């Protein structure tokens, strides 16, 4: 039952109202870890290992048996001990902890027991409240949780705002800088994503601003589900009845030891996470009344087909919600379709790129021919510009008429690029969260979801694929016809733009660099083919009029 609703169990209140036991009205953000020895209880399923703690009576962490925390390459792969990927690992507050000031927390641990259904956590407070939590594992990475507060005392208890913690978004491993950590909330109409950028509150995404300490979702009683996620894994809590509000905060996680930092320089010195919780309003709980929350908790990979099997649009956790998300979903399904036919994920990316190029072939072919025609017509267009240079309006009119007559357009070369931008952004979104690519090998890259680092020289990683991508871009730029009338400075900028893309994409996933490299090579091949085929509609340059040959000097005409 929700706060403020009627009693779930009939109870009789004495005529003379006893004094109300109150709790501090301060914010409930602070949670005090109980003293004493922490008792842990483990529950295993074929998919995961759930570790429950007596400190808070919640879920300390979830280890995923089929996924590793670190994907190692080469000799290091055999030397590293297997360490499963874990959700909520190192979080200061256990998932599914309930707190609301002194009324719900007496500083004592819960009692953990295992039964036929799963795990039960229980404790009785001095104010007469009894806290009971029951956890039952299900299939498809689901855990059914029931949290109940029963009032067995004789005096009403005033509860401030209560927070039911969903979990904390924590890094995948010790090297993860946490740039892709975040919290999500879905209200039945749209999903909202809160990440490092929201908390940093930068101006235009670059300039430092005043950091935000806390996020609270808008609206009341409209939270269908909320999630805490990293790049590839997510915890999603869906209450049986929509929650009133979501609150999220940035929290610090335990730093690595000096020995860990000395062993690996790439370990993050001060990791952080984002804690998310359902927020319930203050209420007065009378004797005999109880509050109850039932939640379906998914703790597993951000895998589209797995999330799509859930019943409340949890597949939106993949962040395929924008206009570009439609392309990302289609590309992911296409890549998985090719993989199901027996292709590796590397060759699946190549196959998707070829299919996209074939779909855009007619448009790119028409665009390239249009640019070549514009080049051929450039002398005549310059003559028109010179002729009407004193009348800009008439000059533009004549140029438009001239281009219409010869069926060319100055925008013809830009259209294919503009149309391919959504595809590229969709590819970027898809590859950024596609767990299918995690650990997928191709050539020297042992993980297509990460940079293809083959060596580190003086602290600088050597990633071959972005360098190859840049080289193919330089080649393509030299073969691309120059737009007529383009400024020389702009032409130079276009030639050296590949350097900028190398800098931007150098530390992106190898899968994205592979896609762009293949895209460049196919564009070069297309240019070569179009050049060899020629353009039957290309304008022919005007030829000079022929003059009749004069008779030789001294010759005479024969009279008829």
Query: Domains of the chain by range and CATH?
Result: 40-319 (2.70.98.90), 337-533 (no CATH)
Q: In the structure encoding, which two tokens stand for residue 136, read together?
A: 């039952």
φ/ψ of residue 418, rounded to 5: -65, -40
Rounded Cα distance between 477 and 472, Å, is 9
Contact status, residue 205 vs residue 264, Cβ threshold 8 Å: no
Structure tokens that stand for 515 in this block: 């896609």
Q: What are phi and psi of 413, to 5 degrees?
A: -75, -20
pTM above 0.85, yes or no: no
User: Other CB atoms closer than 10 Å to residue 355's CB: what's the count?
Assistant: 13
Q: Is 417 exposed, middle or buried (0-12, 13-18, 19+ CB in 10 A)?
A: exposed
Helix (H, G, I), strand (E, B) or coil at 174: coil
> What is the spatial distance between Cα 157 and Cα 128, in angstroms, rounded to a whole number?
9
Nearest alpha-carbon partner for 273 in 250, 248, 299, 247 = 250
Please compute, for residue 271, the number of CA atoms within 13 A of its CA located in the half-sphere on the CB side.
Answer: 29
User: Where do we find the tokens 């010179």?
Assistant: 386
Q: Output the pLDDT for position 492.
A: 63
CA distances 384 to 396, 444, 542, Å, are 9, 56, 15
Task: Render the burial of 538-553: b for 16+ CB within 10 Å, e for the rest.
Answer: eeeeeeeeeeeeeeee
Kind of pairing between the strands at 119-124 and 111-114 = antiparallel
**d(Cα 542, Cα 376) in Å, to the nearest integer?**
11
Contact 183, 169 (CB under 8 A): yes
Contact criterion met (CB below 8 Å) for 223 and 185? yes
DSSP conformation letters of 390-445:
T-HHHHHHHHHHHHHHTT--TTTTTHHHHHHHHHHHHHHHHHHH-GGGTT--BTTB
Average pLDDT per 10 consecutive residues for the chain, totaling 560 residues: 39 34 41 80 92 92 88 60 86 89 82 90 89 91 92 86 91 85 88 86 73 84 89 91 90 87 82 91 87 92 87 83 76 85 87 84 69 68 71 73 67 62 78 79 82 76 83 76 55 65 76 85 78 55 50 49
Q: What's the Cα-to-Cα distance from 553 to each of 130, 449, 550, 557, 558, rounded to whole Å?
A: 127, 84, 9, 11, 15
Cα torsion angle, 426, 431, 433, 437, sign: positive
Q: Are 474 and 498 in contact (CB under 8 A)?
A: yes
Q: What is the pLDDT of residue 222?
A: 84
Contacts of residue 25, defined as CB under 8 A and 6 or more positions apart, other chains included, come to 101, 160
pLDDT given for residue 145 in this prediction: 93
**Beta-sheet pairing, 245-252 with 214-216:** antiparallel
The sign of the CA dihedral 17, 19, 24, 25 is: positive
**Cβ of 47: how many Cβ atoms within 10 Å?**
18
Integer Cα distance of 63 and 86 in angstroms: 4
Q: What angle do CA 449, 322, 331 make, to 5 degrees?
A: 45
């Amino acid at each position: 039952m929700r706060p403020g609703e009627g009693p779930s169990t009939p109870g009789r209140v004495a005529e003379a109202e006893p004094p109300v036991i109150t709790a501090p009205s301060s914010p409930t953000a602070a949670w005090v870890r109980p003293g004493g020895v922490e008792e842990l209880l483990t529950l295993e399923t074929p998919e995961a290992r759930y570790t429950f703690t007596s400190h808070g009576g919640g879920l300390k962490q979830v280890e995923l048996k089929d996924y590793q925390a670190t994907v190692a390459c080469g000799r290091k792969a055999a030397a590293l001990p297997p360490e499963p990927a874990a959700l909520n690992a190192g979080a200061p507050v256990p998932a599914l902890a309930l707190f609301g000031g002194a009324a719900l927390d007496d500083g004592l641990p819960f009692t953990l027991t295992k039964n036929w259904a799963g795990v039960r956590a229980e404790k009785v407070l001095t104010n007469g409240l009894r806290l009971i939590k029951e956890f039952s594992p299900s299939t498809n990475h689901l855990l059914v949780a029931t949290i109940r507060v029963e009032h067995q005392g004789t005096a009403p208890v005033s509860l401030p705002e209560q927070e039911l913690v969903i979990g904390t978004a924590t890094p995948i491993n010790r090297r993860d800088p946490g740039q892709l950590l975040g919290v999500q909330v879905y209200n039945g109409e749209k999903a909202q994503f809160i990440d490092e950028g929201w908390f940093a509150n930068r101006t235009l995404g670059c300039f430092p601003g005043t950091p935000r300490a806390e996020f609270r979702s808008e609206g009341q009683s409209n939270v269908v589900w909320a999630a805490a996620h990293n790049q590839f894994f997510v915890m999603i809590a869906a209450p049986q009845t929509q929650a009133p509000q979501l609150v999220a905060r940035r929290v610090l996680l335990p730093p690595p030891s000096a020995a860990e930092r000395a062993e690996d320089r790439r370990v993050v010195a001060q990791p952080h996470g984002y804690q998310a919780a359902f927020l319930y309003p203050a209420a007065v709980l009378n004797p005999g009344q109880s509050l109850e929350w039932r939640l379906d908790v998914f703790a597993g990979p951000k895998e589209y087909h797995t999330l799509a099997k859930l019943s409340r649009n949890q597949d939106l956790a993949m962040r395929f919600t924008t206009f570009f998300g439609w392309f990302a979903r289609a590309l992911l399904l296409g890549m998985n379709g090719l993989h199901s036919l027996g292709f590796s994920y590397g060759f699946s990316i190549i196959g998707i790129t070829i299919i996209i190029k074939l779909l855009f072939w007619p448009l790119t072919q028409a665009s390239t021919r249009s640019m070549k025609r514009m080049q051929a017509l450039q002398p005549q267009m310059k003559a028109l510009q010179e002729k009407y240079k004193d009348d800009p309006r008439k000059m533009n009119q004549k140029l438009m008429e001239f281009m219409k007559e010869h069926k060319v357009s100055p925008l013809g070369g830009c259209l294919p690029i503009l149309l391919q931008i959504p595809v590229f952004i969709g590819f970027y979104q898809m590859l950024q969260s596609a767990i299918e690519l995690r650990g997928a090998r191709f050539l020297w890259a042992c993980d297509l979801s990460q940079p293809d680092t083959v060596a580190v020289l003086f602290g600088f990683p050597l990633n071959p694929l972005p360098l190859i991508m840049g080289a193919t871009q330089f080649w393509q730029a030299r073969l691309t016809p120059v737009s007529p009338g383009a400024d020389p400075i702009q032409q130079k900028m276009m030639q050296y733009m590949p350097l900028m893309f190398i800098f931007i994409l150098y530390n992106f996933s190898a899968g994205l660099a592979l896609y762009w490299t293949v895209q460049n090579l196919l564009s070069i091949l297309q240019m070569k083919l179009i050049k060899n085929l020629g353009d039957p509609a290309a304008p022919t340059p005007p030829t000079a009029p022929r003059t009749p040959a004069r008779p030789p000097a001294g010759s005479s005409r024969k009279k008829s």
